[in-house]
């Protein structure tokens, strides 16, 4: 018996290893997006709203590039025709629909040159920086969009770098056309040489907080600053009390819930020090867990990004590193991360400067665009070996800013709960795509999708099919479970209708979570007449039909049990 079991276990082990295989192929040369220049910031952005992600690349003192995606198979360089062919020394970029007209706009930070704010006209961009009130000389260019006061108008933070050091800027959106700098009045008062700015709701109070990473050492609290959003239009520096303290020169920072506990953790790419991961403890504090996660071998990094590269339901982590030093791709194995860059084909040894994640070919797997300063860029196509299921959702705000930046999506499949926030800037000098992506492993159905909009609206949906890309406009619907599509808050059993009935009637019931449900009809003496439901049900609202054609007139009862819930109601058949 033992000889039979061991080979079986060995086969299982081999199958497990094979199922976890992850590889990428660099398709940048074949698709013409390799951009042999001094690349800095980069973004995946759908500039023409055709449903395919385009790529915008900043170059330092050479022409910037815009690669228009032609249906996921080819790209066409179109920076000049779109009005984006600036030759300023671009250092950082991000995007959002600042005027809520349905088209994504772009901000570009340049080195010792004016900020550019590109307004998207649908077929081209124009620079409206001067007209909108953001025409200032910048040093650096890390930017992050966020609606800090949740008024439906997206604002943006801008990080200044250089010597002498300059204060950061925070541009408040006044009327969807004009901005004003309010950094100092709202509490963003540091004078760090800021290299990265990124925002997330780290304390789960519904508004976005800000992290600034720099190469300026401040007394006691190191080189970074964590600002908590007070909810009243101001921020408070909570770096010291939070424990999010680093003395590394942080060029890149990225938020993500790597352990699926419902709180946003943060990764830091440091240029002079080991890169770091800080776990969110859920009580306003952070603990550095770099060593315990197996990531302590990653020094001298310039950008980073979280992504579920194998669609197994947890976030993996990429660090872009300097020349001749291989990049790192850490696969999340639960309580430990393993560097798989070499086997995955992403151990780039060029001067990696910026990473951005997005699904450029719409196959449900995340791909990576990698800037290399002074050599060709990479577009790593995900070869999707795991063949796991997935779900991608694009949000459009109404009361919330149209880009829905800051909104949070929670997806539940079985005993796994994942969160994503729509980001307005990440990794250092760039930004990931706007859609939120979820790996579902082998889940056959999504039990629930919960969307918490920045406006405060919460929408709940249930029983969503896997392997699809959906769009949700605030207040609209994305899927149907039973009859409602909205997840009930509690168990309930409704009165049948019609009642009295002849010959059939309908019974409706609500299930707030994945539960085994039994619904049975009894006669007056308590004998079972018909079992209507006896199976596991995902969260949702359901209707079942009871046919009394072969029964006598009289009073009957129907009883529902689910978990700790039990309720009985009376129905009357009249012939």
| Residues 277-315: tens digit of each pLDDT | 999 999 999 999 999 999 977 778 999 999 999 999 999
Q: Are 443 and 372 in contact (CB under 8 A)?
A: no
pLDDT value at position 280? 98
- pLDDT tens-digit series, residues 92-136: 999 999 999 999 999 999 888 889 999 999 999 999 999 999 988
pLDDT value at position 164? 54
- What integer is the mean pLDDT of 24-41? 91
Alpha carbon 247 to chain centroid, angstroms: 28
Flag whether pLDDT at 17 surpasses 60: no
> Model pTM?
0.84
pLDDT value at position 7? 39
- What integer is the mean pLDDT of 493-509? 93
User: From CA 288, how far away is CA 276, in angstroms rounded?
Assistant: 7
Helix (H) or strand (E) holding 131: helix 129-132
At residue 220 the predicted structure's pLDDT band, cuts being 50, 70 and 90, is low
Residue 243: Cβ-neighbour burial (10 angstroms; 0-12, 13-18, 19+): middle
Flag whether pLDDT at 533 surpasses 90: yes
- pLDDT tens-digit series, residues 336-348: 999 999 999 999 9
Evaluated on CA atoms 544, 549, 552, 554, the torsion sign reads positive
pLDDT value at position 4? 37
Secondary structure (3-state) at 79: helix
Sheet holding 504-511, edge to edge: 492-493, 504-511, 540-547
308 or 246: whose pLDDT is higher?
A: 308
- What integer is the mean pLDDT of 36-45? 88
Q: Which of 493, 557, 547, 494 minimizes the C-alpha distance to 525? A: 557
Give me 170's structure tokens. Answer: 């925070």
Q: Are 428 and 142 in contact (CB under 8 A)?
A: yes
- pLDDT tens-digit series, residues 349-395: 888 889 999 999 999 999 999 999 888 999 999 999 999 999 999 99
- pLDDT tens-digit series, residues 131-179: 999 988 777 778 999 999 999 999 999 988 765 556 789 999 999 999 9
Q: Are 238 and 228 in contact (CB under 8 A)?
A: yes
Beta-sheet pairing, 492-493 with 468-473: unpaired
pLDDT value at position 1? 34
Flag whether pLDDT at 487 surpasses 90: no
pLDDT value at position 163? 56
* Residue at token pair 């072969």: 550
pLDDT value at position 79? 97
At residue 453 the predicted structure's pLDDT band, cuts being 50, 70 and 90, is very high
- pLDDT tens-digit series, residues 419-450: 999 999 999 899 999 999 999 999 998 988 99
Secondary structure (3-state) at 17: helix
Flag whether pLDDT at 513 surpasses 90: no
Q: Are 155 and 147 in contact (CB under 8 A)?
A: yes
Secondary structure (3-state) at 462: strand
pLDDT value at position 137? 77
At residue 13 the predicted structure's pLDDT band, cuts being 50, 70 and 90, is very low
Burial letters 363-387, b for 16+ CB under 10 A, else e: ebbbbbbbbbbebbbbbbbbebebe
Secondary structure (3-state) at 344: helix
Secondary structure (H, E, C), 370-400: EEEEEECCEEEEECCCCCCEEEEEEEECCCC
Q: Are 320 and 304 in contact (CB under 8 A)?
A: yes
Give me 554's structure tokens. Answer: 């009289």
pLDDT value at position 190? 81
pLDDT value at position 433? 98
- What integer is the mean pLDDT of 180-194? 90
Contacts of 427 (CB under 8 A, 6+ apart): 196, 198, 252, 253, 254, 269, 303, 304, 305, 354, 355, 356
Flag whether pLDDT at 244 surpasses 60: yes
- The four Cα atoms 273, 264, 454, 367 give a dihedral, to 10 degrees, of 70
Q: Are 504 and 529 in contact (CB under 8 A)?
A: no
Give me 85's structure tokens. Answer: 């062919």
- Bridge partners of 564, per DSSP, are none
pLDDT value at position 275? 92
At residue 542 the predicted structure's pLDDT band, cuts being 50, 70 and 90, is confident
């Amino acid at each position: 018996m033992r000889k039979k079991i061991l080979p079986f276990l060995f086969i299982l082990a081999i199958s497990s290893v094979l199922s976890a295989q992850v590889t990428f192929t660099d398709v940048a040369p074949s698709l013409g997006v390799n951009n042999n220049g001094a690349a800095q910031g980069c973004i995946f952005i759908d500039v023409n709203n055709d449903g395919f992600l385009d790529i915008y690349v900043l170059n330092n003192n050479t022409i910037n590039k815009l690669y228009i995606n032609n249906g996921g198979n080819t790209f066409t360089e179109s920076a000049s025709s779109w009005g984006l062919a600036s030759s300023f020394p671009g250092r950082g970029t991000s995007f959002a629909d600042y005027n809520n007209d349905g088209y994504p706009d772009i901000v570009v930070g340049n080195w010792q040159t004016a900020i550019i704010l590109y307004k998207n006209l649908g077929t081209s961009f124009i620079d409206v920086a001067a007209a909108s009130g953001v025409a200032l000389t910048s040093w650096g260019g890390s930017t992050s969009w966020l609606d800090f006061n949740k008024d439906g108008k997206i604002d943006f933070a801008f990080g200044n770098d250089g010597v002498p050091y300059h204060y950061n800027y925070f541009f408040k959106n006044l009327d969807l056309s004009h901005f004003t700098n309010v950094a100092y009045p709202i509490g963003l008062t540091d004078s760090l040489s800021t290299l990265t700015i990124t925002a997330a709701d780290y304390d789960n109070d519904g508004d976005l907080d800000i992290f600034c990473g720099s190469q300026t050492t401040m007394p006691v609290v190191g080189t970074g600053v964590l600002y908590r959003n007070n909810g009243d239009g101001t921020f408070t520096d909570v770096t010291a009390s939070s424990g999010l303290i680093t003395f590394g020169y942080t060029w890149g920072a990225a938020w993500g819930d790597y352990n699926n506990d419902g709180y946003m953790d943060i990764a830091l790419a440091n240029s002079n020090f080991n890169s770091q991961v800080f776990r969110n403890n859920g009580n306003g504090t952070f603990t550095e867990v770099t060593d315990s996660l197996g990531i302590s071998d990653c020094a001298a990094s310039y950008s980073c990004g979280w992504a579920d590269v194998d669609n197994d339901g947890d976030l993996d982590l990429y660090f872009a590193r300097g020349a001749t030093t291989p990049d790192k791709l850490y696969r999340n194995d639960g309580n430990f991360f393993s560097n798989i860059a070499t086997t995955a084909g992403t151990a780039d040894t060029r001067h990696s400067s910026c990473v951005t994640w997005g699904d450029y070919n719409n196959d449900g797997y995340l791909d990576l665009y990698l800037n290399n300063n002074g050599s060709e860029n990479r577009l790593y196509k995900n070869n999707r070996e795991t063949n796991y299921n997935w779900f991608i959702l694009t949000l459009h705000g109404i009361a919330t800013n149209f880009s829905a930046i800051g909104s949070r999506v929670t997806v539940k499949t079985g005993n796994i709960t994942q969160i994503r926030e729509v980001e307005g800037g990440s990794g250092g000098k760039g930004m990931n795509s706007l859609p939120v992506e979820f790996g579902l492993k082998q889940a056959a159905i999504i039990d629930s999708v919960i969307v918490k909009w920045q406006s405060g609206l919460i929408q709940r949906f249930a029983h969503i099919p896997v392997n699809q890309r959906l769009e949700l406009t605030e207040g609209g619907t994305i899927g149907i479970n039973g009859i409602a599509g909205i997840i009930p808050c509690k168990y309930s059993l409704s009165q049948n209708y019609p009642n009295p009935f002849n010959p059939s009637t309908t019974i409706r019931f609500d299930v707030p979570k994945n539960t085994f449900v039994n619904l049975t009809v009894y006669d007056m003496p308590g004998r079972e007449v018909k079992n209507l439901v006896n199976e596991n049900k995902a969260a949702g609202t359901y209707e079942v039909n009871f046919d009394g054609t072969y029964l006598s007139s009289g009073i009957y009862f129907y009883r529902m049990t689910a978990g700790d819930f039990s309720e009985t109601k009376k129905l009357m058949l009249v012939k």
